[in-house]
Structure 1
């Protein structure tokens, strides 16, 4: 990791630096520390570490300390909540009353939220203390977090590289140990790619299980975005699962303890629409060996697998319509209502195909992206190309592995799995059936624990 060492005084006094959210909440509940102390130490870490990273771009420290005091009062009254007193940040795209929500866009610079997003409300109700907001890609539409409002966020592992986008500030803040928990959003890998690039955990929930109100394009009224979801980011699987339970609309089933010997995994290491970086392929091979050593059954092909090429084309078409918000495409043609309903039908058929596959498999293991974290880019988005496994490909090739789970609306958990020869993190993702989110997190944790 790039040199981001905090002053010695921080290391000497911040005993829970690097601890998970649940560990911090438990320590506060036991009286071993306080919410104010944890909030103050998180603020000190941000002030000491964030300069070269530029992750926490909207800071609300005074109100956070007041919220921490209220949390300590609640603890003293005997209250116990999942995240009581835990300091955290949220992606800039979420409304937090009194703070700007610009999505990194100049035209959104003056948008000040008058209420909290639903996910933020639920986190606060669980006791979380919101320190501020983290940087994003402009309009949430890039795998970099670099915009005209807040500037560029760097990857803590290598400041010359992107932390990913659009939840890049979220992943960077976690990776640099500034906070233990974050909340992001994902439509084209915006949780999973930054998690992979920064070596943290991220979960893209099943579509529709988390109320997205308050995560809205500046000036819009907050109608749910097709394909888009809101999900947690953390430094371990337990925190990821706990935060998911806090923000979901209704409880999800939790599988019991998993027996590795009974697990059937489908491993995907090739996609017809994109090459794959050799070091990511090696990480998949390594994960397969670890899974087999645990007694899992792993196969690399299945006749049940949907047509990934057709699925990707349909996903990109729906994504383009969604981002254009009805405006004509570059060729001047606007999608018709018939086009849209045809896509919805194709999407429903695709989800049923995956459901049949999950009758035979517990999960699918696959890459989170085609490459690890890449150097910052300044060239115009539409002109960007990239080299993957020696091949020149479009920049948007990075949508390929994200779309496998996004198009059918399925849950996917990204977990740290390896590092490159240059020391950069590599994350892989585990996808499961619709509303089987906790199984995705559990199997990801099982694989992570099996890796050397």
Structure 2
């Protein structure tokens, strides 16, 4: 097959070709390396590329495992043995001696790990720029951000530089970039995927983020998300927080059988009307197909929920580098966890009535590169920069899975997405619902970006 054809195939289709001997790992790798050489200078999506080692591995006579030698990249915070990892900082720049749990499992599954993708410095911004590698551009328009902190991952997948990725999400870091770049992302249930070897601190040290944060896949298709998540999920013997919940695939769920809650907006969170309108349009299509659709959200104190999320994020990310003011006490933290437990229970009761919640995938469409902290315009209203994270707060706080799917384009041609959220451990159900919505024509699937790619 032509190189350009190979880079335009989904991960699942590539594995089929490789398994059948219709393409070789070396051919697939060279196709992607050529595309990286051509497009990455304008995107800065792939970093720390090790083409030589990847070529040596691709020449192996056999590639066992379901990935059969497919080249993949990983977010530049996930350790890959022998590969430079920076987390977008000079302070954490290192060459990993061992694989993270995710890297080890993907290698065991047959992946050829070729490099990292760019991130926000310290993974702490909604745009992906850092002093080590610079700024990632959006393949739909290089004057726009690809989002953050998994912006390099989303841009690389959208541009065909890699067929799939694993990124991280604490405050929408998987979901916002996927929506901005027009690809799929699945934020799994908290503690579904081991964090071993993620955000490693040179010299070791305790891991501060023990709740809410997670690792999950980005890809150009629903089957690809499922394949990747099925390979990396489950206990690894080191991350003791990961639950032994089995992965159980489900067939497509038709819109006519859905019980769908809908939230075009989220209390206290700015959301652009183009996104809330698209949520309503998808909900209307499900209702027209015979599904049960109702605008509904859990009955919780939304101000308290948002405040608790912000307090916990600040505590987790600063506990070993405290700023001004007194450090939180253990008593405060235990009380915060108790309040979080009550909110988790409220969401579980809510999902007893619904299969999923349809909601926006981000606060805005992709916006022009700007300095962090610059106010954003949402429907002509100036909004504080940090408030773009508010739309993710309820589901991140409660550890719920969220699936972002492409949902067409806005009037200016930029990608628009929607998000499906479900109860804990319902990833396979969310994927099944997504398949049903696409099979019925409610959602259009992935589109290739035209700017700088074709």
**Aligned pair 1:89/2:106, yes or no?**
no
The answer to whether the aligner puts 1:74 opposite 2:90 as a matched pair is no
Q: Deviations over 1:375-394 (max 9, x none)?
A: 1013xx3x432221232221
Secondary structure of the residue aligned to 2:331 is helix
Partner residue in 1 for 2:223: 238
Q: Deviations over 1:90-111 (max 9, x none)?
A: 10111111122211112123x1
Shift of 1:313: 1.1
Match of residue 277 from structure 1: 272
Q: Deviations over 1:39-68 (max 9, x none)?
A: 111111101111110100110111111222
Residue of structure 1 in register with 2:343 after alignment: 350
CA contact (8 A) 2:408 2:417 kept: yes
1:413 match = 403
Structure 2 counterpart of 1:139: 122
Aligned equivalents of 1:20, 1:97: Cα separation in 2: 26
State the alpha-carbon separation in 2 of the partners of residues 258 and 274 from structure 1: 30
1:127 is displaced (CA, Å) by: 0.4
Q: 1:390 — aligned with what?
A: 380
1:253 aligns with 2:248: yes
The whole-number CA distance in structure 1 between the counterparts of 2:19 and 2:2 is 22
Structure 1 residue runs of 5 or longer lacking an equivalent are 1-10
User: Match for residue 314 of structure 1?
Assistant: 308
Q: CA deviation at 1:326?
A: 4.7
1:58 pairs with 2:48: yes
Tell me if structure 2 keeps the 8 A contact 1:90–1:183: yes
Measured against aligned partners, the alpha-carbon deviations of 1:347-385 in whole angstroms (never above 9, x if no partner) come to: 11111111111111000111111101111013xx3x432
- Per the alignment, in what secondary structure is the counterpart of residue 377 of structure 1? coil
> Which residue of structure 2 lines up, in the alignment, with residue 335 of structure 1?
328
The CA distance in 1 between the partners of 2:390 and 2:418, in whole Å, is 14
Q: Distance in 2 between matches of 1:224 and 1:35?
A: 39
Cα distance in 2 for partners of 1:19, 1:294 equals: 31
Q: Who is 1:4 aligned against? A: none
Displacement of 1:147? 0.5
Distance 1:199 1:414 in 2: 9
* 1:108 aligned residue: 92
What SS is found at the alignment partner of 1:413? strand
Q: Which residue of 2 aligns with 1:228?
A: 213
What is the CA–CA distance in structure 2 between the aligned matches of 1:398 and 1:364, rounded to whole Å?
A: 20
Asked if structure 2 preserves the Cα contact closer than 8 Å seen for 1:56 and 1:169, the reply is yes
Cross-structure match for 1:3: none
Q: Can you list the C-alpha shifts for 1:105-145, whole angstroms capped at 9, x where unaligned?
A: 12123x11101110010011110111100000000011111
Q: How many pairs does the alignment contain?
A: 430
Q: Tell me, yes or no, if the aligned pair for 1:208 and 1:229 is still in contact at 8 Å.
A: yes
Question: In 2 relative to 1, CA 164–215 (structure 1 residues): closer, same or farther, beyond 3 Å?
Answer: same
Matches for 1:414-429 after TM superposition, within 5 Å: 414-429=404-419
**Is 1:324–2:318 an aligned residue pair?**
yes
Residues 265-308 of structure 1: CA deviation (Å, up to 9, x unaligned): 11111222123211112211221122223322111125x44333
What's 2:135 paired with?
152
Rounded to whole Å, the distance in 1 between the matches of 2:217 and 2:12 is: 14
Q: Aligned equivalents of 1:294 and 1:86: distance in 2?
A: 38
Contact 1:414 1:444 in 2 (8 A): no
1:40 to 5, 30, 45: 30
Distance 1:325 1:217, change over 3 A: farther
| RMSD of aligned Cα (Å) | 1.7
Residues 64 and 147 of structure 1: CA distance in aligned 2, closer, same or farther (over 3 Å): same
Task: List alignment gaps of at least 5 residues for structure 2.
Answer: 235-243, 445-454
Distance, in Å, in 1 between the alignment partners of 2:305 and 2:200 is 27
Partner residue in 2 for 1:188: 171
Q: Which SS does the other structure have where 2:144 is aligned?
A: coil
Matched position secondary structure for 1:47: helix
